Amino acid sequence: MAHSTKVMYRQTVDYEEHQNPFLVHSRTYSQQYSQIYYCRLAALRQVVEDSARNKWTGNVLFIDRLLHLQQGNNCVIVGVIYKEMDLKPSILKEYSKNPAEPVPILPVKPCFISDSDVVILEDETGRIRLNFDHCDLSAGTLLTGTVVAVKGQETSSGDFSVDDICFPGIPSLKIPYSLDNDIFILFVSGVGLGAPWNVSMREALFLDFVSGKLGNEEDYEFCCQVGHLFVLGNLLSCAGQETLAMKSQEQPTVSGPQQLLNAEPLISADRFLTTLSSTIPVTLLPGEADPTNLLLPQQPLHHSLLPSSSKYNSLRRVTNPYQCCLNGRKILACSGQNVDDACRYSTFDWNSVEDRLTVMENMLSLRHLCPTAPDTLPCYPYYEEDPFVLKECPHIYVVGNQPAYGTRLINSNGVGVRLVCVPDFSTTGQVVLLNLRTLTPQIMEFMIDLN
Amino acid sequence: MDSSASPIEDDIIIQESVEYESEKQDILESVEYTKTSSKFHHLFSSYARKGEPVPLGRNVENLRILQLDVDYEIVEKDTFLKDLSSAAVVRIYGVTECGSSVLVRVHGFRPFFFIKCPNHFDPVDLPVIKESLEKRARKVSSMKNCQGPIIHDLEIFEGRSLLYFVPNDPSISYFKITVALPSYVRQLAQILERGDIDLSPYEGTYYSTFEASIDFVLRFMIETNMYGCSWVELPSKNCQLPERQTSYMQFEVDIHYNDMICHSPHGEWLKAAPIRILSFDIECAGRPGVFPEPEHDQVIQIANYLTEAGKSEPIARTVLTLGSCAPIAGAKVHSFDSEAELLEAWVSFLRVTDPDILTGYNIVNFDLPYLLNRANVLHLSSFPFLGRLIGVMTKMHDTRLSSSAFGTHESKAFTMNGRIIVDMLQILVRDYKLRSYSLNSVSFEFLGEQKEDVHHSIITELFRGNENTRRRLAVYCLKDAYLPQRLMEKLMSLTNYMELARVAGIPLAWLLSRGHMIKVVSLLHRKAFPERLLIPDLKNSSHNSGEETESYEGATVIEPKRGFYKMPIATLDFASLYPSIMMAHNICYSTLVRKDDVKYLKPEDYIKSPSGDCYVRPTVKKGVLSKILEDLLSARKLAKKELEQATDPFLRSVLNGRQLALKISANAVYGFTGASRGKLPCTEISASITAFGRQMIETTKSLVESKFPSSVVIYGDTDSVMVKFREDLTLEESMALGQQAAELISQSFPKPIKLEFEKCYYPYLLIQKKRYAGLLWTKTETYDKMDCKGIETVRRDNCKLVANVVSKVLEKLLVERDVQGAIDFVKKTISDLLQNKVDISLLVVSKELSKAAADYDANQAHVTLYKKLYQRDPGSAPSLGDRIPYVTIKGRKDQPAHERAEDPIYVLEHNLPLDTEYYLKNMLRKPLERIFEPIIGKNVSSLFEGEHTRSITVTTPSTGGIMRFTKVSVTCLGCRTPISETESKQPLCKYCKANEASIYEKILCNVREYERQYAMLWTQCQRCMGSICQDVLCSNSDCPIFYRRRKVQKDLEDASKQLGRFSMPPSW
């Protein structure tokens, strides 16, 4: 058995990050949420109008502002969708039960849809109720916060009867340059360190795989082709996040250093990342459960929390959402809150990956990453621009912490766009590999058979 | 209705003074009004009432209308009558089944009253007497110009006086004097009472009059058997069309009163008609710091919401604006260049749409007076014609209605013939006891909706902006017009009041403008007259105000045995106590025997009350009051039975309104007899009733305690007793015993008095008389509710914290039965309060600035604060009529509390320290002591002292005071030691550096929590406001969010700044 000590090198990926629009440098909170809708509408109004003019030719009247709407005309209006839904979590309802509660944490229903929902279109000048009685479209899949054009007429009762609806459409993108070799990007999400039920053996297997310690030479060679790792949020478990929230409820003022938090999960996260970063370039997105701010975009994890791993240049701590360019392929990555929240607005099945892919596809076509923010998805109160508006289409749109693996290739003017749902690792043990050359994803599962 | 409430107001109606001017109407001849005169008419023509012309004549269906209001006018020569005499013409304003408005002018009905005939009167002399009366009347200047006779008729009427039973019950002869006009009744009556008349050949004397003080409209309704809001049928062949319309109503007919058919409200005639209801709201542009005044400030918008009863969609949703206004989806906007045009257009709107009912919120004391005064300032002579009669000016006058049931209210009244003003604010103040009557809090209470509140200083800004800001204001104004309508629907106010009008037999409007008594007057007349019983006019009935009246002993209260009862306490109630006493003992004016007459009666013929008054038994003569009550209560039973069977939601609401109305009316009867300044006070009756009541409670107590050994009556009040049967009984056993006791004891009382067992309290906390709380059980499976009496949680001068703590403590004590838990909760709350962890919105107290600051005698917190605010910025300071919210802050030693009141927003912005000990001592302590004393006795003070009160947090103010002398230096975020200047970029000192991660994470926790709150609170306000693209302006400080959302902005910004000090180097 001649074991030649062959040195193998991991393939390098050409990584480009232009200025990250999701970094928030100075924060003020004296403004309100209206500005972000205003900016969103301003950014997308022309786009959706152009798209509508392409879709509806012939005798239709384009109304520039809602207030100029006249009864009875067949016309097109543009605005932001707002859905009134009784099942949305409402702090006011909570207060009517118990006004003494400081600011209670509200239970969030998995679906907000009910019979009493009302769909409204709003612009800077007013709002109007949409009714879908005379069209085949269902209001069920519309999302609050999306900019759309609707065609129809105002009825005598003051509603707008919708005939058809038009989205901005997927933005165009360039065909990426072709690659000679297969090169893989690895995606993992929801590792969930620190959860009591955590199966740490699986994480160890995963680490071994990434560092090439697993399997035979073939596997080892394959491993060298994996050029980059994305950790798509929830590296820590939400069990930890609950205690975080509870602690701050009990102690809402910073009164001294007496009480030390349970640092255990963070230490294991640091160790986990150190191991990874020493063998592969890592991009780390925070997720809902990770120790950073709550409002989207979530900011990169602070270096003091990860003292050891943050010394590695190969670890990039980035925002959620995040976008960059790998070998000329644009990647848009989120850790999943946007898709989860959007699913609550529709009749979609919470656990259906196909439905989730449709939500992702719709987001591209709506040109917005998290339309339901700020209404039901907390986000920073932007007042100069809405950074979540998609100016260009990514080649790869990947979302973490999903109930299961799923993928779809969609076609945007002849260019393929790859959508990927990356499952939650702590419950599935699954990670996703994506071939940058072909944009084909594959799933990989780490199982430990205890028998 | 709360079944445990005492069936009758313990106190009595003191005074009822109503101005009722229907005879003196200003007829403005010079301005000729026709239906189409206004240039704005065409704007609103699409909202006009549709309706077919009324065909008249033979072989045509009769005209049927639902009567909504009745009044009358005086006609000098009534051309409808053959003799062209002076007469009162009764006007009935009504709506047909298909929604046409009809004015019916009823002719020929003349008022009458009675006097006792002189002794030994010979009927032959009738013409002579009539002649003498006529002659005497002609001498009075106000009567001398009467066309035709003044005395139309003089007849002999055989009857009796309602007051006192005379042995052998002889009938007596009276003169029934019928006169030309209503005002003559009182004038003639006065002459007769003074004896200022020569009725030769009979000797001159003073004549007491009967039934001279009854209102003419009521007299008319009683004679024609017409009830309030009832259906009136007019045979077409008898109707005549007038030569000239006198009203803005669609149709007008004339008819003789004998030809009219009045249907009593039963069966088919319970149906409703499509009544038009207009709800409106005005906005005015006030000047900075001053509440709008009509002398100076313009009316800038009027929003209208017009509906038809029984239809879900409104007929019109319009807003009239001064200056351009961007369109509003779903509403019609009409813009005008001048305020005069705006006001004139609104009058046109009113006339074209012709609503039957005007509603709104505080329209009686704000919107309507403002419009009328403003029109006066602008010299708009055509404006003040808001009623339905052409040329009758709408005048405003002050009224004062004081009754013990509703309290004293000063308000405005308007002559607006044919339109009924139903101000939802007044309805709510009458019928509901609330912490706050602002439209915001009322909407939240009943509709579950928070309403955006735009402060009047912002209104002017919005108005001066552009068409979009005015649109914003218009949307707000429309909502204010819409909400009263929603309230009316939700509370079914109109339905309930209409049923009350039907039951009591008086016009709808009287229910709102008068007290309870008029209902009883109507019932009494309706019942007494068929029995030929005449109601005497008591001379000093309504005018002598200062006179002290006899008082009598009220209801009894069995001294409570205070304590916390953990076993079931059965409650035995007398159902409809006072009405049933009156029925059982035949108590009535007509059965009361004068003390001197008692000796002429056989002992078995009368009943002597515990207070010593005697009443004949029903076998001798049945009392009128008993009959009224029997009718009311059996009608109520019937209505309840029908309610059970009814399925149609509208019919159900009508029937429910009806049974409530019947109950209210039955209870009003006792109050009527006791009302010392009422129409017919009779202290003997009310004293007898309460005496019987007291005796019954005592009897019940002794019977229970003797028949059920070891049982104890722990408390009793007016109509109920609380019994503890035995220590160890289960709920089921107690209920069985309660049932048994009720049946047993009922037997010892005459019918229909009935002792009922309805509920157990389990557990029961008895604090003192009229103060208790308990879980109420009517069945054994689950409790019905927590029932609290006299434990104020609604009082406004308390902060919300008190109400919250009290209700939470009661829940812990009664529902969870966890005394220790309740104590712990109180301690935790106190500890939170002292550590400044209680949300500021719970500590806010608010009071209305009801008069100018200089007019307050004592130093009151809100007034002192007002002066402070005015000094700070006169522009944004509150103005008269505003509610001023405040919190109490720490101040100098010995500084009085009123000087330490401060604006909560100012406190938040400047981190001022709250005087939490003041809140503990002055607000929390008393109510909590009261609750806990029966439970833990003297230890109660331990709640307020001890470990949990030792940790006190006081915020450091960011400005003023000691901060002027301190130098701000950078401190370590971990241990707060100052950081040397060289290291000042660092967040932590060198000792804390090692703990950086955990300190960072802790601050991060705060940031996350505040971020969550920020997002939740501000998105909620967007939803409530109904727009996502516009900033939230709402200044509704009643809303639980208002202070929190402001506070979180500041907290989040501070916490973010701290977090920002941890430098964020490039992330890789």
Chain A nearest CA to B468, separation (Å): 7
**Window 302-331 of B, Cβ < 8 Å to A:** 313, 317, 326-331
What separation in angstroms does the CA of B394 have from each of B28, B33, B340, B416, B872?
Answer: 11, 14, 17, 6, 43
| Amino acid at residue number B620 | V
CB contact under 8 A, A103 and B1056: no
- Asked if A254 and B1006 come within 8 Å (Cβ–Cβ), the reply is yes
What local confidence, expressed as pLDDT, does residue B461 receive? 85
Minimum Cα–Cα distance from B466: chain A residue: A125
Chain B: nearest CA to A30, how far in angstroms? 6
| A51 domain residue, yes or no | no
From B889's Cα to the closest Cα of chain A, the distance in A is 20
B325 and B424 inside one domain: yes
Q: Which chain B residues touch A372 with a CB distance below 8 Å?
A: none
B104 and B243 within one domain: yes
Q: Do residues A337 and A426 share a domain?
A: yes
Q: Which B residues in the span 422-481 are in contact with A, Cβ-Cβ below 8 Å?
A: 444, 448, 450, 467-468, 471
Which residue would you say has higher pLDDT here, B22 or B780?
B780
Task: Give the residue from A142, A166, A190 where a domain finishes.
Answer: A166
DSSP string, B947-1015: GGGS----PPPSSSGGGGG-----B-TTT-PBPPGGGTT-SS-TTTGGGHHHHHHHHHHHHHHHHHHHH
Query: Scanning every residue of chain A, which has its alpha carbon at the shortest distance from the alpha carbon of B837?
Result: A252
Does a structural domain hold residue B1021? Answer: yes
| Same domain (yes/no): A389, A348 | yes
> Which residues of chain B does A69 touch, with a Cβ-Cβ cutoff of 8 Å?
327, 329
What pLDDT does residue B513 have?
80
Q: Å from B650 to nearest chain A CA?
A: 23
Identify the H or E element spanning A223. helix A217-224
Same domain, B481 and B442: yes
Judged by DSSP in three states, A372 sits in coil
Does B956 lie at the interface with A, CB-CB under 8 angstroms? no
CATH of the domain at B78: 2.40.50.730
The verdict on a CB contact (< 8 Å) between A158 and B1062 is no
Q: Which residues of A touch B973 (CB under 8 A)?
A: 254
Residue B500 binned pLDDT confidence (cut-offs 50, 70, 90): confident
Give the residue from chain A lying closest to B1019, CA to CA: A375
Pick from A96, A103, A316: which is nearest to B1016 by CB?
Answer: A103
B256 alpha-carbon distance from chain centroid: 38
β-sheet bridge partners, residue A15: A326
B406 or B86, which is more confident?
B86
Give the pairing of strands A415-423 and A406-412: antiparallel
Taking an 8 Å cut-off on Cβ atoms, the answer to whether B1020 and A106 are in contact is: no
Q: What share of chain B is helix, strand, coil (3-state, %, to 5)?
A: 40, 20, 40
B residues 893-952 near A, CB within 8 Å?
Answer: none
Could you give the ipTM of this predicted complex? 0.91
A302·B1048 Cβ contact <8 A: no
- Is residue B2 a part of any domain in this protein? no
**The predicted structure's pLDDT at residue B967:** 58
Q: What is the dihedral of CA B626, B628, B633, B639, to 10 degrees?
A: 160
Sign of the Cα torsion A83, A86, A88, A90 reads positive
CA distance B251 to B792: 53
Residue B14: both structure tokens together: 């003191």
Decide if B330 and A67 are in contact by the 8 Å CB cutoff: no
Using the predicted structure, report yes or no on whether residue B377 has a pLDDT greater than 70: yes
Q: How far apart are CA A341 and CA A368, in angstroms?
A: 14
Tell me, what CATH number does A152's domain have?
A: 2.40.50.430
Is A48 part of a structural domain of the chain?
no
The Cα B897–Cα A89 span in angstroms is 40
At B461, is the secondary structure helix, strand, or coil?
helix
Instruction: Kindly state whether residues A393 and A244 are assigned to the same domain.
Output: yes
Task: Please report how the helices B925-936 and B819-834 are oriented relative to each other, as an axis angle in degrees rounded to 10.
Answer: 150
Q: What is the CA radius of gyration of chain B?
A: 34
Residues in chain B: 1068
Check which CATH number belongs to the domain holding B483 and give it.
Answer: 3.30.420.10
- Domain assignment of residue B857, yes or no: yes
Distances (CA, A) of B829 to B14, B291, B791, B794: 44, 39, 19, 20
With the C-alpha atoms ordered B226, B230, B233, B239, is the resulting torsion angle positive or negative?
positive
Structural domain count of chain A: 2
- The percentage of residues in chain A with a pLDDT greater than 70, rounded to a whole number, is 89
CA B849/CA B866 separation, integer angstroms: 8
Rounded-to-integer distance, Cα B537 and Cα B209, Å? 6
Distance from the A141 Cα atom to the nearest Cα atom in chain B, whole angstroms: 20
Q: In whole angstroms, give the CA distance from residue B193 to residue A315.
A: 108
Which residue reads 């290291």 in tokens?
B983
Q: Residue B679's domain is classified under what CATH number?
A: 3.90.1600.10
Contacts of A98 in chain B (CB under 8 A): 804
Domain tally, chain B: 6
Region of A114 (left: φ > 0; alpha: ψ -120 to 50; beta: rest) is: beta
> Which residue intervals of B117-171 are DSSP H helices?
126-138
Say whether both B558 and B483 belong to one domain: no
Residues of A in contact with B1058 (CB under 8 A): 254
Does any CB of chain A come closer than 8 Å to the CB of residue B858?
no
Rounded-to-integer distance, Cα B379 and Cα B383, Å: 9
Same domain as A326, residue A202 = yes
Residue B985: pLDDT band with limits 50, 70, 90: low
Whether the CB of B793 is below 8 Å from some CB of chain A: the reply is no
Q: Is residue A32 part of a domain?
A: no
Among the partner-chain residues B805, B1011, B1039, the one whose CB lies closest to the CB of A378 is B1011
Give chain B positions within 8 Å (CB) of A96.
444, 448
Task: Please indicate, yes or no, if residue A195 is contained in any of the structural domains.
Answer: yes
Q: Which residues contact B579 (CB under 8 A, 6 or more apart)?
A: B7, B629, B632, B633, B666, B667, B669, B670
Any idea what DSSP says for residue B813?
A: I
The pair of three-digit structure tokens given for residue B89, joined into one six-digit string: 């013409």
Tell me whether residues A248 and B1000 touch, CB distance under 8 A.
no
Tell me which of A146, A166, A186 is where a domain ends: A166
CA–CA gap between residue A373 and residue B266 (Å, rounded): 58
**A145 domain-assigned:** yes
What residue of A is the nearest CA neighbor of B829? A100
Highest mean pLDDT among A242-256, B592-606, B647-661: B592-606
Co-location of B984 and B859 in the same domain = no
Do A240 and A107 share a domain, yes or no? Answer: no
Residues A237 and A332 in one domain: yes
CB B653 within 8 A of CB B495: yes
Q: Which of B490, B512, B538 marks a domain boundary?
A: B490
B920 and B799 Cβ atoms separated by less than 8 Å: no
Spatial CA neighbour of A83 closest among A140, A154, A134, A136? A140
Output the average pLDDT for chain A. Answer: 84
Residue A257 and residue B975: Cβ atoms within 8 Å? yes
Question: Can you give the residue range of the structural domain that contains A146?
Answer: 56-166
Cβ contacts (< 8 Å) between A252 and chain B: which residues? 837, 1006, 1009
Asked whether residue A154 falls in the same domain as residue A185, the answer is no
pLDDT at residue A364 tops 80: yes
pLDDT in tens, B31-55: 334 444 567 888 888 888 876 666 6
Measured between beta carbons, the chain B residues lying within 8 angstroms of A159 are: 330
Q: Confidence class of residue A81 from pLDDT cuts 50, 70 and 90?
A: very high
Residue-wise burial string across B379-409, b where 16 or more C-beta atoms lie within 10 A, e elsewhere: ebebbbbbbbbbbbbbbbeebebbbbbbeee
Residue A303 lies in a domain: yes
pLDDT band at A95 (very low <50, low <70, confident <90, very high): confident
Closest CB to B1031: pick one of A34, A66, A159.
Answer: A34
Residue at a domain's end among B232, B250, B270: B270
Q: Do A304 and B997 touch (CB under 8 A)?
A: yes
d(C-alpha B498, C-alpha B504), whole Å:
10
* B832, B933: one domain: yes
Its domain, for residue B176, covers 112-223
| Residue A214 and residue A111 share a domain | no
- A372 and A397 share a domain? yes
Separation in Å, CA of B334 to nearest CA in chain A? 14
Task: Render pLDDT for A375-427 as a digit per residue (tens, 0 to 9).
Answer: 999 999 998 889 999 988 999 999 999 999 999 999 888 888 999 999 999 88
Task: Read off the pLDDT of residues B926-979 as tens digits, 9 standing for 90 and up.
Answer: 888 888 888 887 788 888 887 777 777 777 666 555 555 555 567 777 777 777
CATH number at residue A410: 3.60.21.50
What is the least distance, in Å, from the CA of A146 to any CA of chain B?
Answer: 12
CA-derived radius of gyration, chain A: 24
Using the 3D structure, point to which of B472, B490, B508 is the last residue of a domain. B490
Nearest-angstrom CA–CA distance, B1028 and B898? 40
Q: Is residue B723 part of a domain?
A: yes
- Is A373 found in the same domain as A333? yes
Cα–Cα nearest to A292, from A387, A378, A229: A378
Kindly state whether residues B918 and B846 are assigned to the same domain.
yes
Q: Is B70 helix (H, G, I), strand (E, B) or coil?
A: strand
Token pair 């309870």 is found at B516
Q: What are the counts of helices (DSSP H) followed by strands (DSSP E) for chain B?
A: 26, 33
Residues A206 and A140 in one domain: no
Whether B329 and B427 map to the same domain: the answer is yes
Task: Strand B101-107: give its sheet, edge to edge.
Answer: B251-256, B101-107, B87-96, B63-75, B231-234, B261-263
Residue A43 maps to a domain: no
Q: Which of A107, A134, A166 is the last residue of a domain?
A: A166
Residue with tokens 């200025």: A19
Q: Does B985 map to a domain?
A: yes
Say if CB B775 and CB B762 are below 8 A apart: yes
Q: Do A294 and B1044 touch (CB under 8 A)?
A: no
Smallest CA–CA distance from B1052 into chain A, residue: A29
Is residue A28 a contact partner of residue A327, using CB atoms and an 8 Å limit? no
Closest Cα in chain A, distance from residue B297 (Å): 28
| Strand ranges for B22-170 from DSSP E | 63-75, 87-96, 101-107, 112-116, 151-161
Q: Is pLDDT above 70 for A310?
A: yes
Which amino acid, B262?
Answer: C
CA triplet B11, B15, B19: central angle to 5 degrees? 150
B937 and B832 in a common domain: yes
Query: How many contacts, defined by CB atoms under 8 Å, are there between A and B?
Result: 217
Of B974, B1029, B1067, Cβ closest to residue A41 = B1029
Which of A32, A84, A264, A280 best probes binding to B when mutated, by most B CB atoms within 10 angstroms?
A: A32
Q: Enter the tokens of residue A48.
A: 């959706």
Q: What is the pLDDT of residues A9-58, one digit of tens each?
A: 888 888 888 888 898 878 888 888 988 999 999 999 999 999 999 998 88
Residues A290 and A415 both lie in one domain: yes
CA angle, B88 as apex, B87 and B92 as ends, to 5°?
140
CB A122 within 8 A of CB A375: no
Of A67, A124, A299, the CB nearest to B1029: A124
> In this predicted model, what pLDDT tens digit does every residue of B564-577 receive, in sequence order?
898 999 999 988 88
Same domain, B477 and B591: no
Q: Which residue in A81, A248, A380 has the most chain B C-beta atoms within 10 A of its own C-beta, making it the best mutation to test that interface?
A: A248
pLDDT at B543: 39
| B759 and B804 assigned to the same domain | no
Which of B333, B1028, B1031, B1043 to mutate to test binding with chain A, by most A CBs within 10 Å of its CB? B1028
From the list B976, B1009, B1048, the residue facing A245 with the nearest CB is B1009
Domain CATH number, residue B210: 3.30.70
CA triple A198-A202-A203, angle to 5 deg? 80
Tell me the torsion sign for CA atoms B128, B129, B133, B134. Answer: negative
What crossing angle do the helices spanning A238-250 and B996-1025 adopt, rounded to 10°?
80
Would you say residue B512 lies in a domain? no
Which is more confidently placed, B755 or B55? B755
Query: Is residue A410 in some structural domain?
Result: yes
Name residue, tokens 């987001």.
A363
* pLDDT tops 70 at residue B322: yes
What are the backbone dihedrals phi and psi of residue B189, each rounded to the nearest 5 degrees, phi first? -60, -40
Q: Hey, are the CB atoms on B1012 and A103 less than 8 Å from each other? A: yes
Query: Which B residues 249-288 touch A at CB under 8 Å?
Result: none
For residues B288 and B358, membership in a common domain is answered with yes
- Cα separation, B580 vs A62, in Å, equals 74
**What pLDDT shows up at residue B326?**
82
